[in-house]
Amino acid sequence: MKKLTPARVISPSKILKREIYARNLTKEKLAEMSNISEQTINDIITEKKEITPEIAIKLSQALNISAQFWLNLEANYRLHLAQKKNKVNFSVVN
């Protein structure tokens, strides 16, 4: 059976940036709406911090996008990075 993989994997940071832009928000305003620190919002956008279940719930409440969406997006992105890293390490070993 052939394994299906997405043509491209989008990081949660890109989706969050697009949502902020589409809603004409600022990081400061999203921080206020979500009760997430502005630093944490910035760290997610710059891919220094992952979206945790707690952050996903707060984003869900602020943006009316399910927490499950944010968690799935994060998990899929992290899995993609791990697979990519594993392929690089595997090819170097061989």
What pLDDT score does 41 carry?
A: 98
Residue 7 carries which DSSP code?
S
pLDDT tens track for 21-71 = 999 999 999 999 999 999 999 999 999 999 999 999 999 999 999 999 999
* CB distance 19 to 65 below 8 Å: yes
Token pair, residue 33, equals 């709406």
Domains, the chain, with CATH or none: 13-93 (1.10.260.40)
